Structure 1
Amino acid sequence: MTWILGTFRKDFLWLYFPGLAALVLSFFVIMPSPSTAFWIYTFVALQFFDSGHVYTTLWRTYLNPEERRRRRAYIFAPVFFFLLFWAWAYFQMPGLAACIIYATIFHNVRQFFGIHKWYQRLNGNHVKWADYFLYFNCFMPFVIAHFRTGPVWNYDYSEQDIFRFPNEVIYKTFLIFYFVGITSWLVYEILLFAKRREGNRFLSIAFPTVLYGVCFICGRTAAEIVFPLVIAHGVSYFGLMSLALSKTQKRFSNLQIGTAVVLLTALGFGAIEGVFEEYYLDLSNATLAPLIALYLTPLFCHYYFDAFLWKKTHPESIKIYANVSGH
Structure 2
Amino acid sequence: MPLRPPAQPWIRSPHYDGWLILAPPFVALLVVLALPAQFRHSAEFPLLAWVGVVLLIDVAHVYGTLFQTYFDPQQRRQRGRLLVLAPLVCYAAGVALYAAGGLVFWRALAYLAVFHFIRQQYGFLRLYARHEAPGPGQWLSPALIYAATLYPLLYWHLSPPRNFNWFVDGDFVQHDWPLGRQLATGLYLGLLLAYLGREARQYYRTRTLNVPRNLLLGGTALAWYAGIVVFNGDLAFTLLNVVSHGVPYLALVWSRRPAQAPGRGWWAGRHGLLLFGSAIILFAFLEEGLWDGLVWREHGAVFGWFRHLPTVAEPALLRWLVPLLALPQSTHYVLDGFIWRRRAT
What TM-score bracket applies, with the shorter chain setting the length? 0.7 to 0.9
Do residues 213 (structure 1) and 221 (structure 2) align?
Answer: no
Which of the numbers 151, 162, 165 marks the counterpart of 2:172?
A: 162
Structure 2: distance between partners of 1:285 and 1:165: 32
Match of 1:272 in 2: 286
Secondary structure (helix, strand or coil) at the match of 1:241 reads helix
Alignment partner, residue 323 of structure 2: 293
Identity across matched positions, percent: 18
Distance in 1 of aligned mates of 2:291 and 2:18? 32
Using the TM superposition, give the Cα deviation of residue 268 of structure 1 relative to its aligned residue in structure 2, in angstroms: 1.0
1:54 and 2:62 equivalent?
A: yes
Structure 1 residues 248 and 204: alpha-carbon distance in aligned structure 2, compared to 1, 3 A threshold? farther
Give deviations 1:276-303, integer Å, cap 9, x for gaps.
3323346996231222111222212111
Q: Deviations over 1:120-160 (max 9, x none)?
A: 22x3435433112211222111111111235153264123x
Structure 1 CA distance, aligned partners of 2:129 and 2:266? 27
Tell me what 1:136 maps to.
147
Q: Does 1:244 align with 2:244?
A: no
Mapped to 1, the partners of 2:43 and 2:168 lie a distance apart of 18
> Distance between the aligned counterparts of 1:284 and 1:134, measured in 2?
41
SS at match of 2:257: helix
Secondary structure of the residue aligned to 2:78 is: coil
More divergent stretch after superposition (183-192 vs 248-257): 248-257
Is the contact made by 1:23 and 1:228 (CA closer than 8 Å) also made in structure 2?
A: yes
Cα root mean square deviation, aligned: 2.8
For the 8 Å contact 1:246–1:252, the answer to whether it is kept is: no
Aligned counterparts of 1:132 and 1:107: Cα–Cα separation in 2: 17
Q: 1:150 to 1:74 in 2, by over 3 A?
A: closer
- 1:252 shift after superposition: 5.3
Report the equivalent of 2:190. Answer: 180
TM-score with structure 2 setting the length: 0.81
Contact 1:243–1:255 (CA<8 Å) still a contact in 2?
A: no
Residue 236 of structure 2 corresponds to 224
How many residues align structurally?
312
Distance 1:139 1:266 in 2: 29
Q: 1:42 is matched with which residue?
A: 50
Cα distance, 1:19 vs structure 2 = 2.4
Q: Which amino acid aligns with 1:208?
A: T
TM-score normalized by the length of structure 1? 0.85
Q: Given residue 21 of structure 2, which amino acid in structure 1 is its aligned partner? A: L
Larger radius of gyration: 2
The SS at the match of 2:326 is: helix
Gaps of 5+ in 2: 1-6, 297-311
- For residues 260 and 105 of structure 2, the distance between their equivalents in structure 1, rounded to whole angstroms, comes to 36
Counterpart of 1:293 in structure 2: which amino acid?
P
> Which runs of 5 or more residues in structure 1 are unaligned?
322-326
Partner of residue 192 from structure 1, selected from 193, 199, 202: 202
1:99 matched to 2:108? yes
Shift of 1:242: 0.7
- Does the C-alpha gap of structure 1 residues 259 and 237 become closer, same or farther in structure 2, counting only changes over 3 Å? farther
Contact residue 215 and residue 228 of structure 1 kept, 8 A: yes
Shift of 1:105: 1.8
In structure 1, the residue matched to 2:128 is: 119
Name whichever structure is richer in helix by fraction: 1
